[in-house]
Amino acid sequence: MPTEDLERDVRFRDLSSDQRESLMIQAAKRYYDLDMTIGDLAKDMGLTRWQARRLLNDAREAGIVRIEILPRAARSPEVESRLQRRFGLKEAVVARPPYDDPAVALAGVAQAAAQFIAALGPTPLIGISWGRTMNAVARRLPPFWSEGAEIVLLNGAMNIRSRSTSSDNTAELFARSANGAATLLPVPAILGQAETRLALERDPTIASVLALGRRAPVICFGMGAMAPDSVLVQSGFITPDEQTALKARGAVGDIFSRFLNEKGEIVDRELDSRTIGIELRDCAGRDISIGVAAGQEKLAIVRAALRTGCVNVLVIDERTALALLEAAS
């Protein structure tokens, strides 16, 4: 340990209980309220990273910081096994919400997905999509779930129209909880012309983000239904009329902003040529490819996703899982 760090460590150990509690509060405010990283708050307070992390841990143990976590979601192991056998999945996680309510189903599935991701252990690089489901997962990840992980956004996320749930914020929430870093894809999900997409993908900065996403051994994504409150509609990437036209052509939902029919085929090739981000064929062959869905309005897109082979781990609520098995039979 450098001499300066040794001197800091000696001073740190000589603090009185009141001085230490004051430092805990300062560190907790910087990390939880001011969104500083461990490195930033350590520099700001004149501490080492070890000392900053220790203060946060001590603050939680002393009850100065209380992190509210939903109770462990009830699971349905029998349904999970049926899904794994029927669809050849590496793993299935079926959350069993206490009662039938869309918000409760989403919370339960998001909590189950967050627990599964955290249980993977050290994950240096993970690729994710954005949207309401993934934002809910991000907000339920435990602190330091994968120290120093790099989170890369797999599809364009710069909004045309402002929304309450920032698309870029999902990756930042993942990274912050892991005390890691987020690599964003700062371009619209869907562009006006295919030529623009091709030009952007040739740009060295954008190309490097896409290449990083293709290297991620673990990816996690939500699945969008063809609903009026679709985040792609709310963000201005497609209009309600365009959504209606896509439904008329057989679209059942989207994955990474790519619209699929019930067979898992791209519905509109022209629209797809203007969509920037990972392609579904790039999802196959990952060590872990986690698809997350809550609510029976997602049933059709989940079935389509399974047919593409882009999912080898499925996190879903029990009612939708049972409907999926019934439809498959």
| 13-30 residue pLDDT tens | 677 777 788 888 888 888
CATH number at residue 33: 1.10.10
pLDDT exceeds 60 at position 5: no
In the chain, what percentage of residues exceed pLDDT 70?
Answer: 90
Element (H, E) at 84: helix 77-87
pLDDT in tens, 192-237: 999 999 999 999 999 999 999 999 999 999 999 999 888 899 888 9
Residue 238, C-beta contacts closer than 8 angstroms, at least 6 positions apart: 190, 230, 232, 246, 271
In this prediction, residue 298 carries a pLDDT of: 97
Average pLDDT over residues 64-78: 67
For residue 69, tell me if it sits in a domain. no
Report yes or no: 245 and 257 within 8 Å, Cβ to Cβ: no
Are 53 and 126 within one domain?
no
Are 118 and 249 within one domain?
yes
| Residue range of the domain that includes 31 | 3-61
In this prediction, residue 319 carries a pLDDT of: 95
Are 106 and 50 within one domain?
no
Q: How confident is the model at residue 64 (pLDDT cuts 50, 70, 90)?
A: confident
Q: Provide the sign of the torsion angle of the four alpha carbons 111, 116, 121, 124, taken in this order.
A: negative
For residue 71, tell me if it sits in a domain. no
CATH number at residue 204: 3.40.50.1360
In this prediction, residue 4 carries a pLDDT of: 47
Domain count, the chain: 2
SS3 76: coil
How far apart are the C-alpha atoms of 30 and 315, rounded to whole Å?
33
Tokens of 286: 């990952």
DSSP string covering 5-27, please? HHHHHHHHHT--HHHHHHHHHHH
pLDDT exceeds 70 at position 68: no
Are 134 and 38 within one domain?
no
Between residues 110 and 66, the one the model is more confident about:
110
How far apart are the C-alpha atoms of 138 and 176, rounded to whole Å?
9
Are 209 and 109 within one domain?
yes
Q: Give every strand in the sheet of 181-183, ordered side by side.
A: 91-95, 313-317, 288-293, 218-222, 125-128, 150-153, 181-183
Are 133 and 182 within one domain?
yes
For residue 72, tell me if it sits in a domain. no
Tokens of 141: 């990840």
Are 173 and 297 within one domain?
yes
pLDDT in tens, 139-168: 999 999 999 999 999 999 766 555 544 455
For residue 133, tell me if it sits in a domain. yes
In this prediction, residue 30 carries a pLDDT of: 86
Q: What's this model's pTM, rounded to 2 decimal places?
A: 0.76
Residue 32 backbone dihedrals phi, psi, to 5 degrees: -90, -35
pLDDT exceeds 90 at position 41: no
pLDDT exceeds 60 at position 69: no
In this prediction, residue 11 carries a pLDDT of: 60
Element (H, E) at 152: strand 150-153
**Chain mean pLDDT for the chain:** 88
In this prediction, residue 303 carries a pLDDT of: 97
